[in-house]
Structure 1
Amino acid sequence: MTDGYYRFPTIHEDTIVFVSEDDLWSVPRAGGMARRLTSNLGEANYPALSPDGELLAFVGREEGMTEVYLMPAGGGSAQRMTYLNQRCQVLGWSADGQYIHFATTHGQFHPDEYAIYRIAANATAGQVAPVPVGPARSIAFGPAGAIVLGRNTGDPARWKRYRGGTAGHLWIDRSG
């Protein structure tokens, strides 16, 4: 696979997973032949490999709105994890690999406002819990518990050099 539009890469050790042609693909970090992991009718986006590299969380659109799915990183059947019927985006995993974090418009008053939720990787599908950080579109966890939140960070082109109230912000909590 040399030609194409490659998006949303996620890396774990020697494995890279990315999106092309609305499907997930895997390729060795050293290069070589890419292997298609999904071949669904709907699109797949925002992949995130688990910290141990065994599982792959992603957003799929099989029946209407996007939902969070989970599958073995080497390929196989995907399990639908959410039933929110709202836009969502997988953000990543907790450091211990127990939770998948994702941003969604579920439960928000404004249709373009996102909040962060999590679901246990071994949970029964649909058991989501909000992460109590307020409206945010992205989150990252530091090794010592620090948290970085992205607020109003949907499309940088929309707020580049903009100084009004919806400009993007990064909030940092060093203590977690």
Structure 2
Amino acid sequence: SGKSKAILERLTEGTIELAKICAKEKVDAILISSAFAGAGLISREHYIEFVLPYEKKIITEVQKEYNIPIYTHTCGSIGDRLDLMLETSTNGIDTLDPPPLGTVELEEAKETLDGKAFIKGNIDPVNTLLLGTTETIRKDVEWRINVGKKRGGFILSSACSVAPRTPTQNIELLYELVETFGKYE
């Protein structure tokens, strides 16, 4: 545990340095990738010990000097740690994989985050985009837009990487649906 934390501390310092360089160059936002911080790989307790303090330090240190949005990418099963992710002071949470790929129910995520961080994602890249029909994609996207738009702070996108061999027409349909139904009024 001591060696792990020493390594994490060094990585944190390097990440802070890199994030400040990016912020100084006036990037639009900074993404912290914690792809392995989901429940599929580490427990909630290990998240508290090995992720939370380091992500919080990165965000706090960068935002002391720069007024820049910082959001966090974590794949898979993160429904049990959304409350902890808020403790890092992140401005947003990226992917929010829905079941069966992950554990994030959009309605519950909106309630847990309570407008304190934006949500980006929640479209299942396999079961919806890769394997879905026009009708199932339309139904899923419209439902997520309607739930996500309530009280704002929602960016609809693929929950994680778009699967190889996803039909182009399914991506185009997603875009068309967002253009039609996804605008805030």
TM-score with structure 1 length normalisation?
0.31
Higher helix share: 2
Which protein is bigger by CA-based radius of gyration?
Answer: 2
Query: TM-score, length-normalised on structure 2?
Result: 0.30
Q: Which has the higher strand share?
A: 1
